[in-house]
Amino acid sequence: MRNAIVLAAGKGTRMKSSLSKVMHPVLSKPMIGHVVTNLKKIDVEDIVVVVGHQADQVQAYLKDSVQYATQMPQLGTGHAVMQVQSLRGKEGETLILYGDCPCISEQTMEKIFIHNSDCAMTVLTAELDDPQKYGRVVRDENGNIEKIVEFKDCTPRQLAIKEINTGIYCVKTDLLFKHLDEITNENAQNEYYLTDLIEIFNSHGLSVQALPVQDVDEVAGVNDRIDLLAAQRWMQKRINRYWLTNGVTFIDPDLTFISADSEIGEDTILYPNVYLEGKTTIGTGCTILPQTFLVNATIGNNTKIDACRITDSIVKDNVNLGPFAHLRMNCVVEDNNRIGNFVEMKNATIGFDSRCAHLTYVGDAEVGAKVNFGCGVVTVNYDGKNKHKTIIKDGAFIGSNVNLIAPITVGENAVVAAGTTANKDVGDGEMAIARTRQENKPGYGLKYKNKKKEGEHHG
Ligand code: UD1
Ligand code: CA
């Protein structure tokens, strides 16, 4: 049985932020979210997140997708693990990692689990040219890992060691909780160091092994915003390279930001300044032009999107969107639609092969197939208190500058004449026209113009 403990109780002072450190986003997703999602991908049964500082923020985000243990006050990484009660008495392996180490992949997690089947404890280590403040890995003459010495407790000789502790471990669950309480706080920082477990295991004759990681950046922790940026750049490279090798064209991958949970089909082209956030899916053969921002959007195949913002909405196949359209709150746009410049749609469904090309607001609406909107149509959905629904049936033609005061239904193949403010239903095949009749006054135009000229001379 696989379990995991994610440490996330520390303060993160160097972020200089009112936001909990582990809640800072990397490619639009909080760091701790990356860790938890990847753990779930490799069938980890119980995930216990140790919270302390700003626990409320972490719990509000992860909700009941994980279990929690509270560490208050924070007396070190060993003390953090001591707070976990729910895994005591369980079998199998426990992976211990940090909420502020967002780049670790599910493949690496899997590797440590597998590695630990032959030993009591596995420590993920890395070789660094500049080992900075990391804990140093001390090996004996046979190359076995003897102990980890924290930076502040190192002798000058130990400081020269380049192999460091990433802080990621896998331990046999029963042995972890059997020996955890042997950790004391007799060290430079008066903290309970989880790293002491290595010496303790060795003293009981339990085998501890080091597993060196290939890419050091994958396991880099985030302590400040410079680290946060580095983590984001690294993850962006990894994600974009993945899509590059899976049939997606990028004009400039350094300027394209794709969340870890997004998916893109073959032969789709992404221009710079495109952001895919949350769980966004794009089909095959799409072209996504610059300044497009998609959040939890589902896009079909062969759709073109030019400088649009789409949130929590679905756009199907062969749709031509933008430039500058805004779709939000559960819109569904069926195949072959054209939605153009400065169109806003909110909570609206648009049937097959309709046109809505210019300067239009469609909110709380159910629109059928082959409907044409002129320029400047407004569904007047809000009366100051409540929102009301507009229904437009197949084949209807809505002229330019029309207001449809909801609740209202425009029937099949009905026509609403330009400039109409409609507040009554329009039946199938009917034409609605509601505007004052035009009157033309001969000569008045010229007279008006001449008067204006006079005014200019004397004024
Ligand atoms: C720790 C390791 C060090 C390793 C480094 C890798 C120990 C004693 N040292 O040092 O060997 O090289 O990580 O990054 O383990 N946390 C708690 N409660 C606490 C203290 C920390 O939840 O009481 C959490 C923090 O929120 C953080 C993580 O544990 O996510 C690491 O804590 P941090 O203080 O950054 O450890 P380091 O000093 O970096
Ligand atoms: Ca750290």
> Is residue 14 within 8 Å of 100, Cβ to Cβ?
no
- Give how far the C-alpha of residue 394 lies from the chain's centroid of Cα atoms, to the nearest Å: 37
CATH 2.160.10.10 domain range(s) in the chain = 249-432
3 CA to centre of ligand 1 in angstroms = 20
Supply φ then ψ for residue 248, to 5 degrees: -105, 135
Atom 1 in ligand 1: which residue has the minimum CA distance? 167
Nearest-atom number in ligand 1 for the CA of 99 is 30
- Looking at the CA of 22, name the nearest ligand: 1
The maximal CA–CA distance of the chain, rounded, in angstroms, is 109
In this prediction, residue 455 carries a pLDDT of 75
CATH 3.90.550.10 domain range(s) in the chain = 2-219
Select from 65, 84, 109, 80 the least CA-distant residue to 10: 80
- List Cα–Cα distances, 318 to 48, 283, 299, 305, 333, in angstroms: 45, 11, 10, 10, 10
Please state whether the predicted TM-score (pTM) of the whole model is above 0.85: yes
- List Cα–Cα distances, 278 to 292, 360, 401, in angstroms: 14, 27, 36
CB of 71 within 6 A of ligand 1: the answer is yes
Using CA atoms, how far apart are residues 127 and 201, in angstroms rounded to an integer?
23
> Is residue 350 within 8 Å of 369, Cβ to Cβ?
no
CB of 74 within 6 A of ligand 1: the answer is yes
Using CA atoms, how far apart are residues 373 and 397, in angstroms rounded to an integer?
6
Which overall architecture, per CATH, does domain 249-432 show? 3 Solenoid (2.160)
In this prediction, residue 210 carries a pLDDT of 96
CB of 80 within 6 A of ligand 1: the answer is yes
In this prediction, residue 143 carries a pLDDT of 84
CATH 3.20.20.150 fits 2-219, yes or no: no
**Could you list which residues have their CB under 5 Å from ion ligand 2?**
221
- List Cα–Cα distances, 377 to 223, 343, 404, in angstroms: 51, 9, 8
Active-site residue flag, 358: yes
In this prediction, residue 457 carries a pLDDT of 66
433 CA to centre of ligand 1 in angstroms = 72
CB of 165 within 6 A of ligand 1: the answer is yes
- Looking at the CA of 96, name the nearest ligand: 1
- Looking at the CA of 163, name the nearest ligand: 1
> Is residue 351 within 8 Å of 365, Cβ to Cβ?
no
In this prediction, residue 188 carries a pLDDT of 87
CB of 76 within 6 A of ligand 1: the answer is yes
How confident is the prediction along the chain (459 residues), in pLDDT tens digits per residue? 999 999 999 999 999 999 999 999 999 999 999 999 999 999 999 999 999 999 999 999 999 999 999 999 999 999 999 999 999 999 999 999 999 999 999 999 999 999 999 999 999 999 999 998 899 999 998 888 999 999 999 999 999 999 999 999 999 999 999 999 999 999 989 999 999 999 999 999 999 999 999 899 999 999 999 999 999 999 999 999 999 999 999 999 999 999 999 999 999 999 999 999 999 999 999 999 999 999 999 999 999 999 999 999 999 999 999 999 999 999 999 999 999 999 999 999 999 999 999 999 999 999 999 999 999 999 999 999 999 999 999 999 999 999 999 999 999 999 999 999 999 999 999 999 999 999 999 999 999 999 888 877 665
Residue of 34, 358, 388, 457 marked active site: 358
